[in-house]
Chains A and B, each alone.
Chain A
């Protein structure tokens, strides 16, 4: 092992569900336990914690557990920790952990993302959302026009692809259809029901061109990735997966002042930081909280050109489990649940270790790309099993 590299070692996940009653800290513990078990580590060997976005007091379901709470609750002595929303999207927390282990700030860092949005919505007395009379900052440019949801913000980028590049509903449908087909093979996936093209095309619109099936839904779950230092890797019993390259971008932190989503410069930067090329990638796990975001990531990462994403996924064969670029093999967020970014890195590691079970892609995969973020924020990681 190269000692100044960063590796993802143990990965873990809680049960994925809606309206869960298990305490969100205990869901996080479930994922921590699974990750520790896989890595052959004990909690006393953990000396760092990284999360996105940290505890969100105003929206407790969005992020019910802060890094400091987890540290205190599990008796961790951390020499480095971080959690916050001002980072290049969810997997920015993994980028931070990788930088921490590469500079000797910690040896084994728990990275976690816990979501509790369905439970919080069902139990508003326990998880009250702070409602405000007026909006300020970023929200003032959207909320007064009832542009309230990221569905509508993302839909406007998708509409440009429809009008400018001729992306059809049948093409875009392939993200949801592929996600739902893959979710059938993932015992933990939230939605385990096939989706047909007819059902997709007759679904009600949310915000054109995005229909109901183009959107993920509120989920309660926790996902954990342990990031370990190269010089601590001999303490780990599982096959380490090396973080070969990382990239992230923010320029205009705004959904309307930038011409393109931040995934585009991020994807270009990722390939400047590695000897691998897009053609070396065995599987892609790309953010799809809204289906179009995965289309944009495919273009951004150079699997096809700008505006060609619709054609690239047409028919769905190319992104199926046995296709040339298996996509979101755990079901993505549309099939597996709104794990909010971390599910993509988790699955990349599962596939590179050959632990995908019924959904394992063929051919001994060695290189995977995963990405999180839409709109003004983007993070991409290239992972390799050496």
Chain B
């Protein structure tokens, strides 16, 4: 999409996530004691309250849990339609990302589709978009 995007403000909590695409990787925080993945990133495990949490690389694939085709031009310059999807992240049980499915017609997306991350770089930030696995 050529649409302008609003970018996240990088801070100590989220920098590892939004910059991981520089190495072509998708990373999430994981508890080093009980192995639970934590997203959005927090300095503590929501399952066992351990403070030993660290980013780990996941395969970068996922499944479309649900989606919508947005047709509304919420602000000037927004190119519509586009697909917003909630992707269940492979290798990180219970973690979802809201993202865009790109590289296919908007009516080609279905629940259950296998997708792979495709980063879109905007300065320091690498946005994890997804495309269907052929």
A256 touches B72 (CB 8 A): no
Do A142 and B69 contact each other (CB < 8 Å), given the known contacts A147-B84, A163-B111?
A: no
B6 touches A144 (CB 8 A): yes
A246 to B69 Cα, complex, angstroms = 36
A interface residues, how many (CB within 8 angstroms): 34
* Chain A 149-191 interface 0/1 with B at a Cβ cutoff of 8 Å (1 = within): 1011001111110011000000000000000000000000000
B72 touches A140 (CB 8 A): no
Q: Which residue of B lies closest to A148 (CB)?
A: B74
Tell me if B25 is interfacial: C-beta within 8 Å of chain A.
no
Closest CB of chain B to A145's CB: distance in Å?
5
B100 touches A146 (CB 8 A): yes
Residues of B23-80 contacting chain A, CB below 8 A: 39-40, 65-72, 74-75, 78
Given contacts A135-B9, A146-B84, 13 further A-B contacts (CB under 8 A): A135-B8, A136-B11, A144-B8, A145-B84, A145-B99, A146-B74, A146-B82, A156-B68, A157-B66, A160-B66, A256-B97, A257-B40, A257-B96
* Chain A 12-43 interface 0/1 with B at a Cβ cutoff of 8 Å (1 = within): 00000000000000000000000000000000
A364 to B25 Cα, complex, angstroms = 63
Set A142, A157, A209: member contacting B98, Cβ < 8 A:
A142
Set A135, A159, A254, A255: member contacting B6, Cβ < 8 A:
A135
Tell me if A134 is interfacial: C-beta within 8 Å of chain B.
yes
Residues of B1-20 contacting chain A, CB below 8 A: 3, 5-9, 11, 14
Set A134, A158, A210, A255: member contacting B9, Cβ < 8 A:
A134
B7 touches A145 (CB 8 A): no
A102 to B78 Cα, complex, angstroms = 50
Do A254 and B40 contact each other (CB < 8 Å), given the known contacts A140-B8, A152-B70?
A: yes
A144 touches B74 (CB 8 A): no
Q: Which residue of B lies closest to A136 (CB)?
A: B9
B14 touches A140 (CB 8 A): yes
Tell me if A206 is interfacial: C-beta within 8 Å of chain B.
yes
Tell me if B118 is interfacial: C-beta within 8 Å of chain A.
no
Residues of B96-116 contacting chain A, CB below 8 A: 96-100, 110-111
Tell me if A205 is interfacial: C-beta within 8 Å of chain B.
yes
* Chain A 198-218 interface 0/1 with B at a Cβ cutoff of 8 Å (1 = within): 000000111111100000000
Contacts of B66 in A (CB 8 A): 156-157, 159-160, 163
Tell me if B117 is interfacial: C-beta within 8 Å of chain A.
no
Q: Which residue of B lies closest to A253 (CB)?
A: B40
B96 touches A256 (CB 8 A): yes
Tell me if A197 is interfacial: C-beta within 8 Å of chain B.
no
Contacts of A156 in B (CB 8 A): 66-68, 84-86
* Chain A 105-146 interface 0/1 with B at a Cβ cutoff of 8 Å (1 = within): 000000000000000000000000000001110001111111
Do A207 and B70 contact each other (CB < 8 Å), given the known contacts A135-B9, A143-B6?
A: yes
Q: Which residue of A lies closest to B68 (CB)?
A: A155
- What are 10 contact pairs spanning A and B, CB under 8 A? A134-B7, A134-B8, A135-B7, A135-B8, A140-B14, A141-B98, A144-B8, A205-B81, A207-B68, A257-B40
Residue in A146, A147, A209, A210 whose Cβ sees the most chain B Cβ within 10 Å: A146
Set A135, A143, A204, A208: member contacting B69, Cβ < 8 A:
A208
Set A134, A152, A210: member contacting B84, Cβ < 8 A:
A152
